[in-house]
Chains A and B, each alone.
Chain A
Amino acid sequence: MGYEPQADFGTPESRSDESVSLTVDGREVTVPVGTSVMRAAREAGGDIPSLCATDSVKSFGSCRMCLVEIEGRRGTPASCTTPAEAGMVVRTQTPRLAKLRRGVMELYISDHPLDCLTCSANNICELQDTAAEVGLRDVRYGYEGANHFAKSPDLSNPYFLFAPDKCIVCSRCVRACDEVQGTLALAVDGRGFASKISAGQASDSFLSSECVSCGACVQTCPTSALMEKSVKQLGKPERSVVTTCAYCGVGCAFRAEMKGEQLVRMVPWKDGKANRGHSCVKGRFAWGYANHRDRITSPMIRENIDQPWREVSWDEAMRFAADRIAAIKAEHGPRALGGITSSRCTNEETFLVQKLVRAGFGTNNVDTCARVCHSPTGYGLSTTFGTSAGTQDFDSAEQTDVFLVIGANPTDAHPVFGSRIKKRLRQGAKMIVVDPRRIDLVKSPHIEAAHHLALQPGTNVAVLTALAHVVVTEGLADEDFVRTRCDWDEYQDWARFVADERHSPEFLETVTRVPAATLREAARLFATGGNGAIYYGLGVTEHSQGSSTVMAIANLAMATGNIGRPGVGVNPLRGQNNVQGACDMGSFPHELSGYRHISQGDSRKLFEDDWGVALDPEPGLRIPNMLDAAVDGSFKAIYIQGEDILQSDPDTHHVAAGLAAMDCVIVHDLFLNETANYAHVFLPGSSFLEKEGTFTNAERRIQPVRRVMEPANGPIGQGLEDWQVTQLLANAIGCDWNYTHASEILAEIARLTPTFAGVTWDRVIAGEQLQWPVTDAAPQGSPVMHVGGFVRGKGKFVVTEYVPTDEKTGPRFPLLLTTGRILSQYNVGAQTRRTANSTWHPEDVLEIHPTDAENRGLADGDMARLASRAGETTLRVKVTDRVAPGVVYTTFHHPDTQANVVTTDNSDWATNCPEYKVTAVQVTPSNGPSEWQESYAEQARRSRRIAAEPAE
């Protein structure tokens, strides 16, 4: 009961299949080969005092506290650096050891402040615990000698402090930064008594150094030298609850450490296999938005969007919404209604929103933000492999020899997995990066990509076909794999196609701008370098040929035999925490949960019988189609949960026109987001800390989301989780739903969705690591897919013809804009902009090559106008050779910039996923915001007014 830190076994676990048995203090212990004596003792339930050892980094052997006696060995070896051996007889507690340890401890404490009672680490301090364990009672040296007591703290980082007087120079922080995070921002500066922890150069603070604020050093610090400011402020937590991060698709497991309903800190949960105890600046620290003053806590309505908002009761808001929906349905039919599910909400909430649309509204006009990110993955991998989920778990990267990273920037967008890739690279794996921009994986401390194919944006298919050309024509294909696992005739058709001279790297060099020799070397390395794994992101999907690129990736993986075992595979890096889950839950307009097409009578009947309604057999509208139909007048009402389409979707003017044309826009969110400027009903949402449910990460891992505080959207005891709000709306329009807990919705999902058949709330909250499919055949889930055969028979090779995008540069728009993300901000920034993460990224900037900048008279930091045929905005430029000449790059985290004013309505041919990554633009000097920015800012201000008094 109460607060306990998570157990620390001192040294990392060994994954050996062989085991050894030894005796520790008379107790027999059996551990995997490679386990340290320290870990063996701790796994057996005992403890050996230690200070420099922790199980997230390799043993170091410096603190001299963990000494033990081993029969037959001389001296007192350090237990952290001594591997357990068969038959070993270890003693961890003897008078001799006690004396040695006490002597060492006495030296530590002689230069450590004895302000334990007022220290932020009081009672969560390993130094304190160790002093207690060794029974230190006196420091014979006194405290008057040279010491570090007067050193002032470094408070520069917004989330944690560094107090040098509390530092014992165990170097755990340095090693965590090196080994776990891989940033190498910290060092022990100086020697002996002068040793001190230093971030960056001597002149740097933590904030100005390369530190990425992942929190690994803070987590590993045994004292209060590196401590969360929130712990200093609030004190020791009183309990902890395991939950799942609500940022990116990595889906890190955390312990929410609480005092009552106050979150004290989020600490990575070491038993979560998605992150294995690591975190990034977003999940670890950027949770303050949950209590931000911008949170809307009351439902609001207005007759039209020119009026101020009026705060009303839930009843009145639901009546207002239901009346409008009923009127629209009566006049225009159910197909004038629709909804958008959220990839940030839980599986249960997403499932209910699509159920509301299909069963309540009576239409299949439901879509989700996967439309604008990974829908081409769905199409492409389904076509080739028969299923589109990522083929591997994250642990698989530990066995990869060659990484091929295409259109993804894991160290910024999926930082915890990025760190795992870097760790593997430092062990000797090779890296090939295909990206127009020089991302950190190309070159950063202690890692360097073997090849960087800095292609022209929009030429992914050409580059991948050229890679395949080299594999086939140089005889590097794994034909044995192809013959057993794939359709051989289709392979031969494909091989003939890619072998054509017009697909050679030399022929395509003028299109792709990738030197043919480099491309050939990269292809040879991928095909012959051992386990080859492909990781890709939105730089693949958000193109007019996004689906083709995904198929080309799948072709390459199959041709080189890189499918169906650990270390290989094709892995889409999902942008949002629950993109995978939102898709699994039937968020797409053409299919029910479990990927069954809405036109299938027996599938429909399953749901019709369960829900007691008839379902429309025709597919519904996708998000872009909804907006088109709204402008045309045939789509009138939308319920949007946890999604800000005005900021996140392309061609902002068109999105605004579509929203403005509707009679009933219901926005359900934490904040008055940009889309809410066009809303008639605002339903306040609940954050991931305020509700129960499940998220499914990019590995198909189904993880718990736990309520650790009351939802802020109501008086105490009356706050509603998001699924409860959806249920209110459903019942207001005549449904009869009676869910009392998210677990009941999960049970319905499991009943209706074969891949979830074995998933229960009890299993999820017990911490079972379930990766769907969880069925009778695979009761514990499926970490790696397509083992022994593709899930639906043979792998299919698909010919992918390179079709250039319609978006072309010319005299008016001579540069290509591509967009991406940055570490500290998340997506539209609704959460991270309301935290101290804005310290690192207060505005979107435009990266431009020095040559292009000079030609335009632009210097670093100048304001520039960025214009395309769709619209224009202004933002500050950053002159850098990270981008090639002719290419500019920005992020889309800030509504003041709204990069999507500039992006166009081009989209992927198969899925309508927008072509965010290629827009022809011009950049010119500017001395102020664009007219659009000014008018938008004014409109946003007006539309966010809330009436002071309830209107009569």
Chain B
Amino acid sequence: MSGTLAKLQRMADQIALNFTAIGKDNAVLATADHIAKFWDPRMKAAIFASDLSILSPIARSAVENLRAGHEPPPQTGATEFNAVDEVGHSDAG
């Protein structure tokens, strides 16, 4: 499990680092939004249960917020998905 947890911690830090340029408060929201939208429940559970002190400050705040049940509204175009009958968005890889 430790190998996977280390990966998750690294992913959370990487996400936070790439949002740093939008300012700390926004970066915390965007990181939390990102993890909420793209991580599977066991990944979330693993990082919630881990020692958050080793995360970067932005990642730590984001994970703490999520763990407390505060899931932010969409923070980027990539997390604003189509509504049920909407045509516009696509995130084709």
A interface vs B, CB < 8 Å?
335, 364-365, 368, 370-371, 373-389, 497, 544-545, 547-548, 579-580, 583-584, 588-591, 594-597, 599-600, 602-603, 605-606, 618-622, 625, 628-629, 631-632, 634, 754-755, 773, 775, 791-792, 796, 798-801, 803, 905, 907, 909-913
Distance between B66 CB and nearest chain A CB, rounded to angstroms: 13
Given contacts A335-B42, A596-B83, A606-B84, contact A377 B93 (CB under 8 A): yes
Taking a contact as CB atoms under 8 Å apart, the answer to whether B78 and A383 are in contact is yes
A602 engages B84 (CB within 8 Å): yes
Interface flags, B39-59, vs A, CB<8A=1, else 0: 111110000000000000000
Contact yes or no, B11 A621, CB < 8 A: no
Q: Are B77 and A384 in contact (CB under 8 A)?
A: yes
Pairwise interchain contact A631-B82, C-beta atoms closer than 8 A? no
B11 contacts which chain A residues (CB < 8 A)?
Answer: 907, 909, 912
The distance in angstroms between the C-alpha atoms of A64 and B17, with both chains bound, is: 70
A383 to B22, CA, bound (A): 14
Q: Determine whether B68 belongs to the interface, using a CB cutoff of 8 Å to chain A.
A: no
For B1, B38, B76, B83, the residue with the greatest tally of chain A CB atoms inside 10 Å of its CB is: B38
Is B15 an interface residue when CB atoms closer than 8 A count as contact?
A: yes
Bound state CA distance, A599 and B79, in angstroms? Answer: 11
Question: Is B18 in contact with A803, judged by CB distance below 8 angstroms?
Answer: yes
Bound-complex Cα distance A335 to B40 (A): 9
Flag if A755 contacts B87 (CB, 8 Å).
yes
Given contacts A632-B1, A754-B85, contact A595 B90 (CB under 8 A): yes
> With a CB–CB cut-off of 8 A, which chain A residues contact B17?
803, 909
Top 7 nearest A-B pairs by Cβ distance? A370-B93, A378-B91, A375-B93, A583-B92, A597-B81, A909-B14, A383-B77
Given A370-B92, A379-B91, A596-B82: A590 and B37 interface contact (C-beta under 8 Å)? yes
Tell whether A386 pairs with B88 under 8 Å between CB atoms, given A371-B93, A378-B93: yes
Q: State whether B41 touches A618 (Cβ < 8 A).
A: yes
Chain B residues within 8 Å of A, Cβ to Cβ: 1, 3-4, 7, 11, 14-15, 17-18, 20-22, 34, 37-43, 76-78, 80-93
* A383 contacts B37, C-beta separation under 8 Å: no
CA distance A373 to B93 in the complex (A): 7
CA distance A404 to B92 in the complex (A): 22
Given contacts A600-B81, A628-B3, A909-B15, contact A619 B37 (CB under 8 A): yes
Cross-chain contact A910 with B78 (CB below 8 angstroms): yes
- A179 CB, nearest partner CB in chain B, Å: 33
Residue on A with the closest CB to B1?
A632
Q: How far is the CB of A498 from chain B (nearest CB, A)?
A: 11
Cβ of A590: which chain B residues have Cβ within 8 Å of it?
Answer: 37-38
Nearest CB of chain A from residue B10's CB, rounded to whole Å: 8
Q: Closest B-chain residue to A607, C-beta based? A: B84
Some 24 contacts from A to B, beta carbons below 8 A apart, are: A335-B40, A374-B93, A376-B93, A377-B93, A382-B78, A384-B77, A386-B80, A386-B88, A388-B92, A544-B14, A583-B90, A595-B82, A596-B86, A600-B81, A619-B40, A634-B42, A775-B87, A791-B89, A792-B80, A798-B76, A800-B21, A907-B11, A909-B17, A910-B15
A909 and B92 within 8 A (CB): no
Q: In the complex, what residues of A have CB within 8 A of residue B39's CB?
A: 619
Tell me the bound Cα distance from A501 to B57 in angstroms. 27
CB distance from B50 to the nearest CB of A (A): 14
The minimal Cβ–Cβ distance linking A794 to chain B, given in whole angstroms, is: 10
Q: Is the CB of B43 within 8 A of A792?
A: no
Query: Considering residues B80, B81, B83, B89, which has the most beta carbons from chain A within 10 angstroms of its beta carbon?
Result: B89
Contact A580 B92, CB 8 Å, known A382-B77, A603-B84: yes
* Cβ–Cβ < 8 Å partners of A368 in chain B: 93
Q: Are A629 and B90 in contact (CB under 8 A)?
A: no
B9 to chain A, nearest CB (A): 13
Residues of B within 8 Å of A773, CB to CB, are 87
> Nearest CB to that of B76 among chain A residues?
A383
Closest B residue by C-beta to A580: B92
Give chain B nearest CB distance to A157 CB in angstroms: 37
The answer to whether B20 and A801 touch across the interface, beta carbons within 8 angstroms, is yes
Other-chain contact of A595, B38, B42, B81 (Cβ < 8 Å): B81
How many A-B pairs with Cβ below 8 Å?
159
A369 to chain B, nearest CB (A): 9
- Cα(A381)–Cα(B93), bound, Å: 10
Known: A382-B80, A600-B81, A909-B17. 11 other contacts (CB 8 A): A335-B42, A364-B40, A382-B90, A387-B91, A388-B91, A590-B37, A591-B81, A602-B84, A622-B38, A631-B3, A912-B11
In the complex, the answer to whether B15 meets A629 with C-beta atoms within 8 Å is no
Q: How far is the CB of A717 from chain B (nearest CB, A)?
A: 38
In the complex with contacts A383-B76, A632-B4, A800-B21, A597-B91 CB distance below 8 A: no
Contact partner of B88 among A497, A544, A625, A791, CB < 8 A?
A791
CB distance from B92 to the nearest CB of A (A): 4
- Taking CB atoms, residues of chain A closer than 8 Å to B77 are 382-386, 792, 796
- Complex contact B40–A597 (CB within 8 A): no
Report the separation of the CA atoms of residues A584 and B76 in the bound assembly, to the nearest whole angstrom. Answer: 20
Chain B residues, CB < 8 A from A383: 76-78
- Give Cα A913–Cα B37 distance, bound, in whole angstroms: 16
Which B-chain residue is minimally distant from A368 (CB atoms)? B93
Contact of A378 among B4, B14, B80, B92 (CB under 8 A): B92
Contacts of A632 in B (CB 8 A): 1, 4
Tell me the smallest distance from the CB of B42 to a CB of chain A, in Å.
Answer: 6
Q: A799-B22, A912-B11 are in contact. Are A382 and B89 (CB under 8 A)?
A: yes
With known contacts A389-B90, A545-B18, A596–B1 Cβ distance under 8 A: no
Complex contacts, A382 vs chain B, CB 8 Å: 77-78, 80, 89-91
A337: min CB distance to chain B, Å:
12
* Contact between chains at A625 and B40 (CB < 8 Å): yes
Closest Cβ–Cβ distance, residue A590 to chain B (whole Å) = 6
Q: Give min CB distance, B71 to chain A, whole Å.
A: 9
Q: Smallest Cβ distance from B74 to chain A, in angstroms?
A: 9
Chain A residues with Cβ under 8 A from B93's Cβ? 368, 370-371, 373-378, 388, 579, 583, 588, 911, 913
Task: Tell me whether B89 and A754 are in contact (CB under 8 A).
Answer: no
CB-based contact A629/B42 at 8 Å = yes
Residues of A within 8 A of B34 (CB): 910
Question: Do the beta carbons of B21 and A799 come within 8 Å of each other?
Answer: yes
Whole-angstrom CA separation of A743 from B27 in the bound complex: 46
Task: Report yes or no: A600 in contact with B87, Cβ–Cβ below 8 A.
Answer: no
List the A side residues contacting B22 at CB < 8 Å: 799
Bound Cα distance A545, B21 (Å):
14
Max chain B CB contacts within 10 Å: which of A606, A632, A907?
A: A632
In the complex, what distance in Å separates the CA atom of A907 from the CA atom of B20? 18
Report the bound CA distance from A517 to B92 in whole Å. 36
Task: Determine the distance from Cα of A415 to Cα of B80 in the docked complex, in whole angstroms.
Answer: 35
Kindly list chain A residues whose C-beta atoms are within 8 Å of the C-beta of B85. Answer: 754
Q: How far is the CA of A798 from the CA of B15 in the complex (A)?
A: 15
Is the beta-carbon distance between A631 and B4 smaller than 8 angstroms? yes
Query: Which listed residue (A385, A548, A602, A620) contacts B40, Cβ 8 A?
Result: A620
**Chain A nearest Cβ from B27, distance in angstroms:** 11
CA gap between A803 and B27 in the complex, in Å: 15
Q: Which residue of B lies closest to A909 (CB)?
A: B14
Pairwise interchain contact A379-B78, C-beta atoms closer than 8 A: yes
- Name the contact of A583 in the complex, choosing from B21, B37, B91 (C-beta under 8 A): B91
User: What's the Cα separation between A382 and B78 when bound, in Å?
Assistant: 5
- B92: which of A377, A384, A905 is its contact (CB, 8 Å)? A377
Q: How far is the CB of A680 from chain B (nearest CB, A)?
A: 23
Q: Which residue of B lies closest to A634 (CB)?
A: B42
Query: In whole Å, how far is B48's beta carbon from the nearest beta carbon of chain A?
Result: 14
Report the nearest B residue to A603, measured CB to CB: B84
What is the bound-complex CA distance between A804 and B80, given in angstroms? 28
**B21 cross-chain contacts in A, Cβ below 8 A:** 497, 799-801
Tell me which of B1, B18, B88, B90 contacts A548 (CB under 8 A).
B18
CA distance A913 to B78 in the complex (A): 15
B28 to chain A, nearest CB (A): 16
Question: Smallest distance from the beta carbon of A184 to chain B beta carbons, Å?
Answer: 36
A291 to B37, CA, bound (A): 44
Write the chain A residue with the least CB distance to B74.
Answer: A597
Known pairs A800-B21, A910-B18, A911-B93; A628 contacts B7 (CB<8 A): yes
